[in-house]
Amino acid sequence: MSTFNKYIWETHGVHAGTENDHVKHGVDELEAVIEKAISLHHPSISFIIHTPRLTNFRYDTERDTDIKFIRGNSAYLNYPKRIKQLQAVYADRINIKYGIELEWMGNEIGLQWNRSQLIQAEEVDFVVGSVHFSREGIPYDGSKEEAQRLLQLRGSLEAYWLGYLDEVIEMIECSGDMFQVVGHLDLPKLNVPVPKDILQFENAASPLADKMRWLLELISIHNLALDVNLAGLKKGCGIYPAENILRRAKQLHISIAIGTDAHHIDHYAYAYQEGMQYVLECGYKQYVSFSKLIPETRTIFNNHQLKLKYSLLNKAIELLNQRMPPEKRRVIPELAFGNAFHEFLDIYPNATRLGAYNAIRIRKEDKSITFGNEIPQPENLQLEGLFSKHLDRPGVLSMLFNTLASERINIETAFLKSNNDGTATHQ
């Protein structure tokens, strides 16, 4: 029986605070939470920040303020710089990732606004697209009173949820290329009951069930990941999204990202084990995290061999992506797995076999890369290629490949062997 990892590479992780803003939100003391992660021996920590909102999208608690840009406009502008400083300070101790939570506010000025917010968010690792507000400007995740107000306005529970699902669908159709992950998919359950047609949407015949099914298909078509958001546990409505939604997502080969959506240092790393148990029960054994918008696949299990294989797969995808123009980086590559990587054949249903060869091959269009974890030793082995001995550090191999590529030398196959003394040989 496999045990779970102690750590999750979060996506929707710790919310960076609004600092000096009028409305407090998130964790201001980023250093404190980083130190906590280091003390827990975590390899990485992930921050996220909300994009500032347009004036007519406000929570009741924000109505009294007369500031124009709600929630941390200056904190938002500062955020990439602040994270970069922290990355420099903690470079040798922990890997700091960061992203933004893009606030959907309709497809007119809201969409223009979001585009400008994205431009300001330099070099983020991921973008989560979330609907928190109805088009009427009333939040789904505010107070119970706010939810009741919207319920009255829309006239029924069905209309309430239909409106929400329409907004999520609109967000994906209009801006699915602007984010990688759909945030807390069944957020309204925080404040209102879930209708029967959503609890059993798989088989129900109703506009609500149809819409839920279509939404999941749309997520799959756009190659977006689902945010498995553990904050719902703390709030008493259960993890987002509900089990039946996640099971259907698995059938549609939708990948998941996991996160605590923590707004307080005490909530850092909350319920990691429950999170992994939950996704496993829904059929998932792996999840993704993001680095510079590219998904990296990870196992939920504490299995050293499997983790090594995943890191090889991620490295191969990253190296191939570096040779692709940015717009092609999110295209799912064709994968082929040989002998030692056979478990990936179950995980990636469209992958092909590489036979007895212990290697992974990744292909996009006319570019491919083959990665193995051992040097083949057939009789009279004749290897043609380059040989290098270098520091065994992340990034060194990419540097070598890029330098060679700039000289128009294409590496089809690379053998990398760690010497266990801080160096690696590479052939």
Q: Least distance in Å: CB of 66 to Zn ion?
A: 25
Say if residues 79 and 120 touch (Cβ distance below 8 Å).
no
Say if residues 411 and 399 touch (Cβ distance below 8 Å).
no
Q: Least distance in Å: CB of 175 to Zn ion?
A: 16
Q: Smaller CB distance to Zn ion: residue 176 or 196?
A: 176
Taking contact as CB under 5 A, which single stretch among the options 19-27, 182-190, 218-226, 384-392 is the one that binds Zn ion? 182-190
Q: Smaller CB distance to Zn ion: residue 258 or 362?
A: 258
Which amino acid, 216? L
Q: Smaller CB distance to Zn ion: residue 188 or 333?
A: 188
Q: Smaller CB distance to Zn ion: residue 101 or 167?
A: 101
For position 392 contacting Zn ion by CB under 5 A, the verdict is no
Say if residues 388 and 426 touch (Cβ distance below 8 Å).
yes
Site string for Zn ion, 235-264 (x = CB under 5 A): --------------------------x---
Site string for Zn ion, 65-104 (x = CB under 5 A): ------------------------------------x---
Q: Least distance in Å: CB of 118 to Zn ion?
A: 17
Hey, what are 361's tokens?
A: 């091959």
Q: Least distance in Å: CB of 50 to Zn ion?
A: 7
Q: Smaller CB distance to Zn ion: residue 128 or 288?
A: 128
Hey, what are 337's tokens?
A: 């797995």
Q: Least distance in Å: CB of 46 to Zn ion?
A: 11
Which amino acid, 310? Y
Q: Least distance in Å: CB of 386 to Zn ion?
A: 46
Backbone phi, then psi, for 337, in 5-degree steps?
Answer: -125, 135
Q: Smaller CB distance to Zn ion: residue 183 or 372?
A: 183
Site string for Zn ion, 262-301 (x = CB under 5 A): ----------------------------------------
The DSSP element (H or E) to which 152 belongs, if any, is: helix 144-154
Site size for Zn ion (CB under 5 A):
4
List, as own/partner pairs, every contact residues 1-4 make where C-beta atoms lie below 8 angstroms and the sequence separation is at least 24, other chains included. 2/301, 2/302, 2/303, 3/301, 3/302, 4/272, 4/273, 4/276, 4/277, 4/300, 4/301, 4/302
Hey, what are 307's tokens?
A: 């983790």
Q: Least distance in Å: CB of 143 to Zn ion?
A: 16
Q: Smaller CB distance to Zn ion: residue 94 or 181?
A: 181
Q: Least distance in Å: CB of 51 to Zn ion?
A: 11
Q: What is the DSSP string of 90-139?
A: TTTT-EEEEEEEEE---SSHHHHHHHHHHHHSTT-SEEEEE--B-TTS-B
The pairing of beta strand 352-353 with beta strand 367-372: unpaired
261 φ/ψ sector (left φ>0, alpha ψ -120 to 50, else beta): left
Q: What is the DSSP string of 158-211?
A: HHHHHHHHHHHHHHHHHHTTS-SEE--TTGGGGTSPPPHHHHTTTT--SHHHHH
Question: Segment 102-161, which members bind Zn ion (CB under 5 A)?
Answer: 130
Q: Smaller CB distance to Zn ion: residue 13 or 338?
A: 13
Q: Least distance in Å: CB of 183 to Zn ion?
A: 5
Residue 346 makes CB contacts below 8 A (sequence gap 6+) with: none
- Helix orientation angle between 304-322 and 396-406, rounded to the nearest 10 degrees: 30
Q: Smaller CB distance to Zn ion: residue 225 or 414?
A: 225
Interface ranges with Zn ion (CB under 5 A): 101, 130, 183, 261
